[in-house]
Amino acid sequence: MIKSKCLKSKCKCRIKKDDKVKVLAGKDSGKIGKVIKVNRKKNRILIENINLVKHHTKPNAQNRQGGIIESESPIHWSNVMLMCNKCMSPVRIKMLVLEDGKKVRVCRKCNEVMDT
Pairing of the two strands 80-82 and 75-76: unpaired
Query: Domain segments of the chain: what residues?
Result: 13-83, 85-116
Selected from 3.30.230.10, 3.40.30.10, 2.30.30.30, 3.40.640.10, the CATH number assigned to the domain covering 13-83 reads 2.30.30.30
C-alpha 48/C-alpha 76 separation (Å) is: 14
| Average of per-residue pLDDT values in the chain | 88
The per-residue pLDDT for range 10-35, each reduced to its tens digit, is 668 889 999 999 999 999 999 999 99
Q: What is the mean pLDDT of residues 31-50?
A: 93
> Is residue 82 a contact partner of residue 66, using CB atoms and an 8 Å limit?
no
Q: What is the pLDDT of residue 79?
A: 94
What pTM was computed for the model? 0.78
Q: What is the mean pLDDT of residues 80-88?
A: 91
